[in-house]
Amino acid sequence: MIVVTGGAGFIGSNFVLDWCAGTDEPVVNLDKLTYAGNLANLAALEGDARHEFVRGDIGDFELVRTLLRTHRPRAVLNFAAESHVDRSIHGPGDFIQTNIVGTFQLLEAVREYWGMLEGEDKAAFRFLHVSTDEVYGSLEADDPAFRETDRYAPNSPYSASKAASDHLVRAYCHTYGLPVLTTNCSNNYGPYHFPEKLIPLCIHNALAGKPLPIYGDGRQVRDWLYVKDHCAAIRRVLEAGRVGEVYNVGGWNEKANLDVVHTLCAILDALRPRADGRSYREQIAFVTDRPGHDRRYAIDAGKLERELGWKPAETFETGIEKTVRWYLDHQDWVQGVTSGAYRDWTLRQYGA
């Protein structure tokens, strides 16, 4: 079996759902259920014996130690993190705690567990760390896309905390021989994306008749990847990645934010026209820029393609249409998140 951390969040829950759709190998899902963790994402697995949910913190060494000894996984995949750049600017503390200290405690527990394994089990074990392209910093318009050998230059408290976690993972391989794999992925989008991030926020605000906030001039560029392609890349790296290696994951889909929002508006105009017949574009509002806003990210995913044969299945056009349709079909999920109803349920179920 495998252990996934952060499997109630956006990417982690997509990963768990896809994992269970593709294999009978059980998965234990360790998640603290912060504001970003939502068990409703995993409703399809209710009563499925292959999925066990454990509420807890990756920074809780004793809990993770017991979990590993009890379940004896062949791999631990670390998705758990504080992930929102704007929140890291307002309050970096949680990012330092989870992304750095939490990853350190998790690595310590995994190192101890791996040290107790023998023979085949020890040789086959993997720790896969899910990270971000933001650790490489910001690109100028003509710079080549990020490669695995690029120097780290994180610019926000979020990306600095992820960079620190990547360094710890690397050090545990180099110093202790822990068999690690690291993936650095570009911006994801798709089902269960928390509506604080650009794409789900704009879909939600458009339908609610609210402004679509564009930071600065809206010409910042991100490289978008459909979340299920990211999950497929992680499965492939887990299956065949070389120990100690880093793999960049991206969709070759560089888009300026304003163009992304125009695309969303065009799809919504076609699928769910406004009652007054006007375009959702009229709701676009330029607002104060994010402090230290990175101008451009772009991922060179050539290594992953050459070495492991991974390629994204979706183009931006197919993925974004699927995504808008998913949000239109799952307004109850959006309602649950935006009204905070899932938090009430979590409190009732798990207490404070």
* 302/252 Cα distance (integer angstroms): 10
Dist. CA 255–CA 316, nearest whole Å: 9
Burial string for 166-204 (b: 16+ CB within 10 Å, else e) reads bebbeebbeeeebbbbbbbbbbbbbbbbbbbbbbbbbbb
Known active-site residue 133? yes
- The single residue of 31, 57, 82, 134 carrying the catalytic annotation is 134
134 is catalytic: yes
Contact 99, 164 (CB under 8 A): yes
**181 — phi, psi (to 5°)?**
-135, 140
Stretch touching ligand DAU by CB under 6 A, among 17-25, 30-38, 132-140, 271-279? 132-140
Distance of CA 78 to the CA centre of its chain: 10
Q: Which is nearer to ligand DAU, 112 or 196 (CB)?
A: 196
200 binds, among ligand NAD, ligand DAU, none (CB under 5 to 8 A by kind): none
CB neighbour burial string for 82-91, b if at least 16 within 10 angstroms, e if fewer:
bbbbebbbee
> Considering the rule CB under 6 A, would residue 257 count as an interface residue with ligand NAD?
no
Helix H, strand E, coil C: the string for 74-117 is CEEEECCCCCCHHHHHHCCHHHHHHHHHHHHHHHHHHHHHHHHC
Contacts of ligand NAD in 16-75 (CB under 6 A) = 31-34, 36-37, 57-59
Q: Least CB distance from residue 197 to ligand DAU, whole Å? A: 3
Q: Which does 58 bind (CB under 5 to 8 A by kind): ligand NAD, ligand DAU, none?
A: ligand NAD
Could you give the 3-state DSSP secondary structure of residue 129? Answer: strand
| Chain position whose Cβ is nearest to ligand NAD | 9
Nearer to ligand DAU, 20 or 155 (CB): 155
- Catalytic residue among 136, 158, 172, 247, which? 158
Task: Please give the structure tokens belonging to residue 346.
Answer: 């979590």
Does the footprint of ligand NAD cover residue 4 (CB under 6 A)?
no
Structural contact between residues 83 and 151, judged by C-beta atoms closer than 8 angstroms: no
Tokens 């650095």 sit on residue: 184
Touching ligand NAD, residues 141-200 (CB under 6 A): 162, 185, 187-188, 194
Q: Which residue is nearest to ligand DAU (CB)?
A: 132
CB of 176 to ligand DAU, least distance (A): 27
80 touches which of ligand NAD, ligand DAU, none (CB within 5 to 8 A by kind)?
Answer: ligand NAD
Distance, in Å, from the CA atom of 76 to the CA atom of 112, rounded to the nearest integer, reads 13
Instruction: Find the binding residues for ligand DAU in span 230-289 (CB under 6 A).
Output: 257
Q: Which of the stretches 106-114, 208-216, 232-240, 337-345 binds ligand DAU when contact is defined by CB under 6 A?
A: 208-216
Residues near ligand DAU (CB under 6 A): 83-85, 132-134, 186-187, 197-198, 201, 213-215, 220, 222, 257, 290, 297
Residue numbers annotated as active site: 133-134, 158
